[in-house]
Amino acid sequence: MQLAVNIAVLAAIYALVSCGYVLIYRTSRVLNLAHGELMMLGAYGLFTTASLFAGYPLLAIATSALLALIVGVLVYVLLMRHMAGEAVLAAVLTTIALGILLRGTIILFWTAQAQHPIRALGLTNQSIAIGDAKISAVGLTLIVVTACVYAGLYAFLRYTAWGIRMRAAGQNPLLAAQRGIGLHRIYALAWGLATFTAGLAGMLVACDSALDQTMATIGLKAFPAALVGGLDSLLGALLGSLIVSASEVLIIYYVDPLLSEVVPFIVLLAMLVVRPWGLLGTREELDRV
């Protein structure tokens, strides 16, 4: 039972992070390898807003989430926009450089020591009993937030004009522009949303455990989850997250906790050998990478 709870919480974390990879990839065919660092930035953002709005935890969280959204849009407008028309590889390398830059900036502005934003918010992370298992309040929040984010993204992409345009631009950017859709606007929106969800994930994970430089690793570990699912499918990302987290939790429990860092990548390699386009990905999609 406790194992199932652990799997669910970890899957929620991976899912919340990996939907950002999927959003950016399926709209602009760019792999954002700075996603983990952007997630970390969101968490440090919360650490700062928590001290700014001491006593108003919700306001602090909302402000930080909004900041994450703005940062995402800015990353596109100031940086990635200029990669349009360049080779995809150039764009991916740019995101790697951005990630390194962000790491450096974070050390510079905040400390490299572990922080506990939940204390700064003035909240505590109680554990709640479910049967004979326990789940932390933040862990439960993570699951709820992830469910809401996925439901929201699904509704956005399926039922709103801008969501449909985002899918259209991902499929056929040429035709999308011909149909009056401004691609820069769509890509900026995708980056904004992806960074927003990454920020949410970063904040919640930081509240559940602690905040330090290792957070970017969680972002990196969520990447196999996105890829196992197929990289262009939200449902795939959800499924991939479940698979990766289940393997990770079970191997930690039955084999060796030291393997935790490598399990997602083993799953990834296994997947790449058997079914390189992912569980729910489109086959042609990967040929273009």
Partner 1 sequence: MTPPLLRVEKLEVVYHHVITAVQGISLEVPEGSIVALLGTNGAGKTTTLRAISGFLGVDDARVTEGSIEYRGHRIENLPPHRITSRGITLVPERSKVFENLTVVENIEAVVPRPGADARKLAEAVWEYFPVLARLRDREAGYLSGGERQMLAIGSALACAPELLLVDELSQGLAPLIVEELLHRLQAIRKDLGMTLLLVEQNAAVALDVADYAYVMENGRIVLDGTPEKLRSHQDIREFYLGTGAGSGARRSYRDVKQYRRSRRWYG
Q: Which residues bind partner 1 (CB under 8 A)?
A: 85, 161, 164-165, 167-168, 171-172, 174-183
Q: Min. distance of Cβ 160 from partner 1 in angstroms?
A: 9
Q: Min. distance of Cβ 171 from partner 1 in angstroms?
A: 5
Q: Cα(177)–Cα(86) distance, rounded to whole angstroms?
A: 18
Judged by beta carbon, residue 165 or residue 221, the one nearer partner 1 is 165
> Coil, strand, or helix at residue 54?
coil
Q: Cα(127)–Cα(116) distance, rounded to whole angstroms?
A: 17
Judged by beta carbon, residue 104 or residue 182, the one nearer partner 1 is 182
41: part of which helix (H) or strand (E)? helix 35-52
Q: Min. distance of Cβ 170 from partner 1 in angstroms?
A: 9
Judged by beta carbon, residue 158 or residue 275, the one nearer partner 1 is 158
> Coil, strand, or helix at residue 127?
strand
Q: Min. distance of Cβ 166 from partner 1 in angstroms?
A: 9
Judged by beta carbon, residue 159 or residue 254, the one nearer partner 1 is 159
Q: Min. distance of Cβ 176 from partner 1 in angstroms?
A: 7
261: part of which helix (H) or strand (E)? none
Q: Are 72 and 61 in contact (CB under 8 A)?
A: no
Judged by beta carbon, residue 66 or residue 88, the one nearer partner 1 is 88
Q: Cα(226)–Cα(16) distance, rounded to whole angstroms?
A: 10
Q: Min. distance of Cβ 177 from partner 1 in angstroms?
A: 4
Judged by beta carbon, residue 116 or residue 167, the one nearer partner 1 is 167
Nearest to 43 by CA among 260, 238, 208: 208
Residues 6+ apart with CB under 8 A from 65: 42, 196, 199, 200, 203
Strand partners, 135: 128
Residue type at 20 in one-letter notation: G
